Amino acid sequence: MNIRQIQEARELYGIDEWGAGYFGINDEGHVVCHPTGEEHLSISLPDAIQKLREKNIATPLILRFPQILESQLERMHLSFRQAINEFNFKGRHMGVFPFKVNQRREFIDSVVSCGQKLDYGLEVGSKTEFIAALSYPLTENSLLICNGFKDHDFINMAFIAKAMGRKVIIVVEGPDELEMVLQTAKNMRHLPAVGLRIRLYSRGAGKWEKSSGDYSKFGLTTNEALNCLQMLQDANLMSSLQMLHFHIGSQITEIKRFKNAIKEASRVYAKVVKMGFTPQFLNIGGGVGVDYDGSKTSFQSSANYTLQEFANDAVYVLGDVCTNEGVPHPTIVTESGRVIAAYHSVVITDIREVQGEEMFPSESAIPEYSDGEQHKGIKEMKYVLDNINRKNYVEFYHDAIEYQEELFTLFNLGFLNLQDRAYGEELFRRICRRALYFSSFQRHQLEEFDDLQKIMVSKYLANFSMFQSIPDAWAIDQLFPVMPLARHDEKPSHKGTIVDITCDSDGCLDTFVDRADVKSALDLHVPNGLPYYVGFFLVGAYQESLANEHNLFGAIHEAEIHIDSDGQWDFTKITEGDPVEELLVSRNYDMGEIFGSYEQQLNRAVETESVTRAEADSFLKSLTKAVKQVPYLNS
Ligand SMILES: Cc1ncc(COP(=O)(O)O)c(C=O)c1O
């Protein structure tokens, strides 16, 4: 046990900061999960992987901890309860989970069962999400909120849900949607409640700032809202207006943006009440940020406030405006998804290969292949390698670049053989490594060495697809905490980037979280012959919804884990990833036709005696087995 090194690892990866009490490193140097947020209840992730291997479930895989989900739902609810008590607010808090944040059935099943005791509801943004949401046994009081753009069919389904006894609210995005609702109401007995999505002047902050403000694509302008209120009044349906709603974007990094938005929305609510309407709910949307880098700042991957601060501000500001305006305190509805879901899952995979070496390894002699006279350029390079030092490294590095270019020109003209080229390449690599080593002593590193550092880091080939498992890292440069799962009692000797197994150069992760900045390389160990696992954390929100099947790599295996109050844990559900045949069928391939073609080709090979019948049968068996497996690399 190397306690000092383990403490260093905690600081190096910032796990105590971004882990929110759910993740840590134990005294064996293993990453552990505390699913209930209680430190004495922990699950070693390497142990969980080992147990899954014994069940023939290999990496890549997702570990899900529904208890984290439950704990986050509770943290949200308790934060509001505490704020409501503290500020003597007369309304209550209700939560709904936005379906789009993670539509996997396993996940929504957990949200619904964990949320029952809190009357947690669901929010949907499309007909598909609605059809799935309507099948869930929500409690009698839970809300089912329909957001997004709607047509007659969507609205009709909301009326059916109302007839089924659901507390459904159609949040209209425009007067024409309300017109459709009013038309449908003429033919249906059960009228769902109506909500209005308000376009606020206040804007969010961070990547999703465009979701709000004057020119947002969502919500009603003040004129449109007034128009809708008039339409309800004319239809004698003023009491149907039950909710006012706003959402200023996801991952709001600054608390003051929330405060401004809530202040503005509270005024809108008060004015609508004063016009004689009786909305019960003010839906303040989602947007609570996740502190992915643990810095607690307004940086894009962080948030400069806690859940309690968010709840306090929402309750205090709303209560204050309502009291000031003399209107009743409404029920506050939150629609947070990211902060509820992000922590509950970890993607884990194994490293297959490391390309590139240590910064300053013990260097073996370079094999010299050439038997003839060595070219002048090679001799010069050898001289540079033998004589580069802390004083001359910039000049010598520049010389080496020139010699390297010269050697390539000579190769292209046919004056060098492959062996000379290999020798020159290896000399140049070693010179670069030494130059980098010397530059690392400088207080202000020259830009060219920064760039060189990025090129020279080791590449860790990870058995997964970024496009499938962390699509936001590719699409919008979203940062997620990444770290090895074991050996934290050992100092990592490498700096590396992560490359995935897709045939796409974009499948490369070269920006990592850091409390003070971002890092262009991750501290990693040299694999020692045993499997080396890395985990991608806080990936439970949006990543599975946005996953794509680039190169036909599909969903990975997943396992749900539950821990008892005595610390015993086990898998409660294991779901295998998408087999090759399912991925092909989803792209309209017909497995019958595919195997028909294989059989034909093998029969022809038997006829021409290039294979025996027994060989053909065994090849067909191998192909049949291959399509039943996931397409990731087998160990
Ligand atoms: C209308 C609406 N509600 C709720 C959410 C959930 O937001 P978040 O996941 O940031 O909490 C979103 C996502 O942007 C949204 O568009």
Among residues 301, 322, 345, the one where a domain terminates is: 345
CB neighbour burial string for 519-528, b if at least 16 within 10 angstroms, e if fewer: bbbbbbbbbe
Give the H/E segment covering residue 400. Answer: helix 393-412
Which of 100, 171, 538 maximizes ligand 1 atoms within 8 Å of its Cβ, making it the mutation to test the pocket? 100
Residues in the chain: 635
Atom of ligand 1 nearest to the CA of 289: 10
- Report whether pLDDT(437) > 50: yes
Predicted local confidence at residue 376, as pLDDT: 87
The CATH number covering residue 115 comes to 3.20.20.10
Domain boundary pick from 345, 368, 388 = 345
Q: Please check the confidence at residue 359 and state whether its pLDDT lies above 70.
A: no
Q: Does 337 sit in the ligand 1 pocket, CB within 6 Å?
A: yes
| Cβ–ligand 1 contact at 286 (below 6 Å) | yes
Tens of pLDDT, residues 263-285: 999 999 999 999 999 999 999 99
- Closest ligand 1 atom to the C-alpha of 147? 1
Q: How far is the CA of 121 from the centre of ligand 1 (A)?
A: 14
What whole-number distance in Å separates Cα of residue 330 and Cα of residue 333?
Answer: 9
DSSP-assigned letter for residue 288: B
Q: 420 C-alpha vs ligand 1 centroid, how far in Å?
A: 59
285 CA to centre of ligand 1 in angstroms = 6
Q: Is the CB of 288 under 6 A from ligand 1?
A: yes
Ligand 1 pocket residue status of 195, Cβ below 6 Å: no
Which strand (E) or helix (H) includes residue 6? Answer: helix 3-13
**Position 545 confidence tier, pLDDT thresholds 50, 70, 90:** very high
Does residue 439 lie within any of the structural domains?
Answer: no
Give the Å distances, CA to CA, from 103 to 9, 305, 340, 518, 544. 34, 27, 14, 30, 8
Is 357's pLDDT higher than 70?
A: no
- Give the single-character DSSP code of 391: T
Tell me: the pLDDT tens digits for 183-216?
Answer: 999 999 889 999 999 999 887 666 666 666 666 6
Average pLDDT along the chain:
94
Segment 75-94 mean pLDDT = 98
Specify the residue with its C-alpha closest to ligand 1, atom 13. 250
In this structure, is residue 208 part of a structural domain?
Answer: yes
- Cβ atoms of residues 606 and 612 within 8 Å: yes
How close is the Cα of 336 to the center of ligand 1, in Å? 6
Whether 245 lines ligand 1, by a CB cut-off of 6 Å, is no
* For residues 527-543, average pLDDT: 96
Query: In this model, does residue 537 exceed pLDDT 70?
Result: yes
Handedness of CA 429, 434, 436, 439 (dihedral sign): negative
CA 508 to ligand 1 centroid distance, Å: 28
Q: Best mutation site among 198, 338, 476, 538 for ligand 1, i.e. most ligand atoms within 8 A of its Cβ? A: 338
Kindly tell me the burial class for residue 400, based on how many C-beta atoms sit within 10 Å of its own C-beta (0-12, 13-18, 19 or more): buried
Confidence of residue 360 (pLDDT cuts 50, 70, 90): very low
Task: Please state the domain count of the chain.
Answer: 2
pLDDT at 595 over 70: yes
| Domain annotation covers residue 54 | no
Q: Could you give the percent of the chain with pLDDT greater than 70?
A: 95
Ligand 1 atom 5, closest CA:
286
Is the minimum distance from the CB of 283 to ligand 1 under 6 angstroms? no
| Residue identifier of the C-alpha nearest atom 7 of ligand 1 | 286
Ligand 1 atom with the shortest distance to the CA of 541: 9
Per-residue pLDDT reduced to its tens digit, 108-149: 999 999 999 999 999 999 999 999 999 999 999 999 999 999
For ligand 1, whether the C-beta of 148 sits within 6 Å is: no
Give residue 377's pLDDT band: very low, low, confident or very high (50, 70, 90): confident
Q: What is the Cα–Cα distance from 35 to 485, expressed in whole angstroms?
A: 16
Among protein residues, the one whose CA lies closest to atom 6 of ligand 1: 286
Q: Which atom of ligand 1 is nearest to the CA of 286?
A: 11
Owning domain of residue 604 = 591-628
Q: Is residue 504 part of a domain?
A: no
Which pLDDT belongs to residue 546?
A: 96
pLDDT given for residue 239 in this prediction:
97
Q: Find out whether the beta carbon of 289 lies less than 6 Å from any atom of ligand 1.
A: no
Q: Atom 4 of ligand 1 has which residue's CA nearest to it? A: 286
Residue 60 · residue 632 · CB < 8 Å: yes
Tens digits of residue pLDDT in 7-39:
999 999 999 999 999 999 999 999 999 999 999
Domain end residue (candidates: 345, 372, 402): 345
Residue pLDDT, tens place only, 450-465: 888 877 888 999 999 9
Among 203, 217, 248, 250, which is best to mutate for testing ligand 1, by the most ligand atoms less than 8 A from CB? 250
Whole-number Å distance, alpha carbon 107 to ligand 1 midpoint, is: 17
Using an 8 Å Cβ cutoff, are 94 and 121 in contact? yes
Query: Is 136 a domain residue?
Result: yes
284 CA distance to ligand 1 middle (Å): 10
- % of the chain exceeding 90 in pLDDT: 85
Burial (Cβ within 10 Å: 0-12, 13-18, ≥19) of residue 151:
exposed
Q: Tell me, using a 6 A CB cutoff, whether residue 250 lines ligand 1.
A: yes
pLDDT digits (tens, 9 = 90+) for 282-321: 999 999 999 999 999 999 999 999 999 999 999 999 999 9
Q: Identify the residue whose C-alpha is closest to ligand 1 atom 14.
A: 250
Give the model confidence (pLDDT) of 396-415 as tens digits.
Answer: 999 999 999 999 999 999 98
Q: How confident is the model at residue 449 (pLDDT cuts 50, 70, 90)?
A: confident
CB 167 within 8 A of CB 178: no
Say if residue 531's pLDDT is above 90.
yes
Question: How far, in Å, is the centroid of ligand 1 from the Cα of 359?
Answer: 44
Say how many Å lie between the CA of residue 110 and the centre of ligand 1. 19
> Is residue 20 a part of any domain in this protein?
no
Question: For residue 302, what pLDDT is reported?
Answer: 93
**Vertex 241: Cα angle to 235 and 246 (nearest 5):** 135
What token pair was written down for 586? Answer: 């989803």
Q: What is the distance in A from the centroid of ligand 1 to the CA of 100?
A: 8
Task: Check pocket membership of 335 for ligand 1, CB cut-off 6 A.
Answer: yes
Whether 231 contacts 224, CB under 8 Å: no
Q: Give the residue-averaged pLDDT of 367-389.
A: 82
Report the atom number in ligand 1 closest to the C-alpha of 339.
Answer: 11
Using the mean position of ligand 1's atoms as its centre, give its distance from the Cα of residue 283 in Å.
Answer: 11
Relative to beta strand 345-355, strand 331-334 is unpaired
On whether residue 274 sits in a domain, the answer given is yes
Q: Is residue 178 part of a domain?
A: yes
Read off the pLDDT of each residue in 617-629 and give the average, rounded to a whole number.
98
3-state class (DSSP) for residue 501: coil
Cα of 211 vs centre of ligand 1, distance in Å, is: 10
> 289 CA to middle of ligand 1, Å?
11
Tokens of 240: 């149907």
Report the residue among 76, 247, 253, 307 best suited for mutation to probe ligand 1: largest number of ligand atoms under 8 A from its CB. Answer: 247
- Angstrom distances, CA of residue 281 to CA of 90, 193, 196, 278: 13, 11, 11, 9
The label of the residue with tokens 């929402």 reads 314
Overall average pLDDT of the 71-80 stretch: 97
The pLDDT of 378-395, averaged and rounded, is 94
CA-nearest residue, atom 1 of ligand 1: 247
Task: Give the atom of ligand 1 at the shortest distance from the alpha carbon of 341.
Answer: 9
Is 362 a residue whose pLDDT tops 60?
Answer: no
pTM confidence score: 0.92
Burial label, 15 (beta-carbon count in 10 A; 0-12, 13-18, 19+): buried
* Residues 210-254: tens digit of each pLDDT: 666 666 668 999 999 999 999 999 999 999 999 999 999 999 999
Q: How big, in percent rounded to 5, are the helix, strand and coil portions of the chain?
A: 45, 15, 40
